[in-house]
Amino acid sequence: MSAIDELFDRLRNSGRKALMPFVTAGDPDLGFTAELIRQLVARGSNICELGIPYTDPIADGPVIQASYTRALQGKLKLASIFEMLAGLAPGLPAPIVTMVSYAIVYRRGLAEYAAAAKAAGVAGLIVPDLPVEESGPLAEICRRQDLSLIQLIAPTTPRDRALRIAERTTGFIYYVSVTGITGERTELPAGLVDNVAWLREQTPLPICIGFGISRPEHVRMLKPVADGLIVGSAIVRRVAEAATRPRQQVLSEIGQYVGELLAAM
């Protein structure tokens, strides 16, 4: 079993759900990123998603796009991200997965990227712009490296295609809650719970829901059908304040916010 398989197996056996915060690597710098991940895990987060900044992100709203821009303006390099992770991941009780554009993976080389990610302690890859029809080569490489290849299903995904995606996915399914881009929302779609309930009947894989989740009431609404909940923009927006406010204060406030979400799970 992969690290992610083991995590969700433990959570299911104990009747618990995963909270998965999203953090942009290098915003405002990699030192802060490492501190933030430690804070999130110390507060009780079960798994962390690390965004690899890219100039043309897929489906990311203005908050996360801005964080990518800030990180890239700091001359962030992929090698530096992996170096940071290599010093961080082995000491964490929570797996780390990366959200990464296929262009970055392809440019580095599929086998080389997977090997570097594994060596850095990464447990899985989320590649949002890799169609399931073209995912075979990377899926095989990830299998050999014992990396999970997490794929996305959206509300607009036809059900027959959703089943194909589920068959090619390892680790967990990333279910996109809304049609559109990432970002905090006051309300989630009325049909979301039913859509996820249908998918749960089709696959034994854990299902984690992301996009728009930012409030304890969202957590209470979705925890009956989800194995995990992904929170991104609400955290990244708070991270942006680290450029103008004391970092420890920002870290503490983010930790408190995550604690409020965990209390609703």
C-beta separation of 83 from 25 below 8 A:
no
Q: Name the helix (H) or strand (E) containing 188.
A: none
- Strand pairing class (124-126; 148-150): parallel
Cis peptide before 28, with omega less than 30 degrees from 0? Answer: yes
Give the catalytic positions in this structure. 49, 60
Q: Which residue pairs, CB below 8 angstroms and at least 24 apart, start in 142-148?
A: 142/114, 142/170, 143/170, 145/114, 145/115, 145/117, 145/118, 146/2, 146/118, 147/2, 147/114, 147/117, 147/118, 147/122, 147/123, 148/2, 148/4, 148/5, 148/97, 148/123, 148/124, 148/172
**Amino acid found at 32:** F
- What 9-17 contacts at long range (C-beta under 8 Å, 24+ apart), as own/partner pairs, is 11/46, 11/227, 12/206, 12/227, 16/46, 16/265, 17/223, 17/226, 17/227, 17/228, 17/229, 17/265
Query: What distance in Å separates the CA atoms of residue 52 and residue 30, rounded to the nearest whole number?
Result: 12
